[in-house]
Amino acid sequence: MKTINFINKVLLSFVMVGLSAQAQTKDTGIETKQMVENSLELFKQLSNDIALDEEFNYRKELKASRAEQTMFYFRDIKVSKTQLLRYFKRAARSSDNSIQFKTYFLERQLYFINKLDRKTLSGVYDAMRSKTLNGYLDILAVFAATDQIMPTMVRS
């Protein structure tokens, strides 16, 4: 009889542990889903801020992000704000337009970039590109082309 009571207690404790673990798993799933949704909103807000800020300063934002240590939780990856800014900068440096900018992320399986609309994506690309060497060279090329056009227009 004592043996049966002991076995019942052991089985009951296993069942309780299993139910407790299952409840924690469900809570974790809900918390994870909310973290992903919150991170997505923060990501969109950050991207909009970068795209709309005429005086965006990459270095200043990078330094601030190191102090904040903000994390973005996406469905398949966890990225810090610092890493995200660096991804933006590398993508802008290695691409010539916003389509290549987006392709940079997709090639590296960073699919969170798909959550941005075209206007925001283009604005982020332009903000980041303008602070790169190639961006400065693009600006110089435009001025050089303008200087070549202007003298011919004056002579006419």
Q: With pLDDT > 70 as the criterion, what percentage of the chain qualifies? A: 74
The pLDDT tens digits for 145-155 are 776 655 554 44
Mean pLDDT of 68-78: 88
The pLDDT tens digits for 27-64 are 456 667 888 888 899 999 999 999 998 888 999 999 99
Provide the token pair at 100. Answer: 């290549």
Is residue 144 pLDDT above 80, yes or no? no
User: Is the C-alpha dihedral spanning 5, 10, 11, 12 positive or negative?
Assistant: positive
Is residue 142 pLDDT above 90, yes or no? no
More confident residue, 104 or 133: 104
pLDDT band (50, 70, 90) for residue 156: very low
What local confidence, expressed as pLDDT, does residue 131 receive?
75
CA distances 33 to 29, 36, 76, 131, 136, Å, are 6, 5, 12, 35, 41
Is 0.75 topped by the overall pTM?
no
What local confidence, expressed as pLDDT, does residue 130 receive?
84
CA distances 97 to 102, 103, 145, Å, are 9, 10, 19
pLDDT band (50, 70, 90) for residue 9: low
Work out the mean pLDDT of the chain and round it to a whole number.
80
C-beta of residue 47 within 8 angstroms of C-beta of residue 127: no
Cα separation of 18 and 116, whole Å? 41
